[in-house]
Amino acid sequence: MYTSGNRALKVAVVGLGKMGLLHSSIINVLPNVQLAAICDKSWLMRKVAKKVFKTSLITDSIDKLAGMDLDAIYVTTPIPSHYSIIKEIYKKSITHNIFTEKTLSSTYAKSKELCELSQNHEGLTMVGYMKRFSVTFKKAKELVAQGILGQIVSFKAYAYSSDFADAKQDSSVSGARGGALEDLGSHATDLAIWFFGDLTANSTQIESRFSTASIDCANFEVNGLNGLKGTFEVSWCKEGYRMPEFRLAVTGTDGVLSVDDSALKLELNNSQQRTWYRQDLDDSVKFLLGDPEYFREDETFFQSLAQKSSFESNFQTALKVDFLLEEVKRIAHA
């Protein structure tokens, strides 16, 4: 149960694209959470919202959210707009508690400023790295933390989709979404930082196939603690990936582990092998829309609000992702 005093938590969603619709629908069924308002610039999306979310205020202006005594706002607009929207929310004191879809912003400098603003306003924050709520990745994280692989030597992280496999030259859509490095690579980067701690980039290759406005493919190497080596492969131009796929392969002194959304495979040097499939790991949720991790993510955010306790990934941990991605681009252009 999530409450603010004796009333339900009041929430607004800014941006009614795919992720805005998904989060709005989940929020709308959570107990003791009120979807108080939805803000979107599109007349068509506001028309749709009025038919679906009949008890919510539907508006095209963030200013209309001021004075609503909101407990939190979800920012689910494209990545390049996150900075200006979140900054406006803080500036006008509309709420101190903000959930934003990844990445936190389009540059490290802007994300750092947003982190400082969040700390000044002393609110709770979360960034939508929902793979932390995947049962397979969560189980893999637990095994690595238990030391079952011994000392971690290396890892390989993959993030693939076919979103632009057939895109034409000079496509403007890829740039509008921020690029594959932010759109897909941020998830793989967040998973690696979650598993292994801080990482530094040392060798990078990036490719812009459609326009200079976005990165469409990226390969980069990183270093971690105790001599850890890691590699990343990111592309949204891969054939055969109708849905985005994220995979992590971890090598330790005592064995190897590989994990993606569907399964976790463990192979130890003593010949012990075991595979956990997603359905083996209690992947059920109370309301299924998209993947189960979206419900767990939203549920955790509201539990954190009710308990006034921070939960990762917040703005501060998401800043580490933005820093590493910016380093990848800096080194590639050096």
Output the tens digit of pLDDT for each of the chain's 334 residues.
455 556 789 999 999 999 999 999 999 999 999 999 999 999 999 999 999 999 999 999 999 999 899 999 999 999 989 999 999 999 999 999 999 999 999 999 999 999 999 999 999 999 999 999 999 999 999 999 999 999 999 999 999 999 888 766 555 555 566 689 999 999 999 999 999 999 999 999 998 887 676 799 999 999 999 999 999 999 999 988 888 999 999 999 999 999 999 999 999 998 889 999 999 999 999 988 889 999 999 999 999 999 888 888 999 999 999 999 999 999 998 7
What is the rounded CA–CA span in Å between residue 236 and residue 245?
10
* Total number of residues shown for the chain: 334
Nearest residue to 227 (alpha-carbon basis) of 153, 150, 324: 153
Specify the pLDDT at position 287: 86
Q: State the pLDDT at residue 82.
A: 96
Contacts of 280 (CB under 8 A, 6+ apart): none
The neighbour count for residue 202, using CB atoms within 10 Å, is: 12
Residue 182: closest CA among 114, 245, 236, 231: 236
Which regions of 15-102 does DSSP assign to beta strands (E)? 33-39, 57-59, 72-75, 98-100
Q: Is 48 exposed, middle or buried (0-12, 13-18, 19+ CB in 10 A)?
A: middle
Domain spans, the chain: 3-130+302-307, 131-287+315-333
Single-letter residue type at 81:
S
State residue 236's pLDDT score.
92
Give the contacts of 4 (CB within 8 A, at least 6 positions apart). 10, 71, 305, 306
Q: Does 131-287+315-333 match 3-130+302-307 at the fold level?
A: no
Strands 200-207, 255-260: pairing kind: unpaired
Q: Which fold has domain 131-287+315-333?
A: Dihydrodipicolinate Reductase; domain 2 (3.30.360)
* Residue 179: per-residue pLDDT: 85
Report the candidate in 292, 275, 318 with the shortest Cα–Cα distance to residue 140. 275
The whole-number pLDDT of residue 3 equals 56
Question: What CATH code is assigned to 3-130+302-307?
Answer: 3.40.50.720
Quick one: pLDDT at residue 214? 78
DSSP 3-state of 47: helix
CA 189/CA 195 separation, integer angstroms? 10
pLDDT of residue 242: 85
Say if CB 58 and CB 44 are below 8 A apart.
no
Q: Which residue has the tokens 């075991």?
A: 274
Rounded Cα distance, 257 and 333, in Å: 33
What pLDDT is stored for residue 139 in this prediction? 98
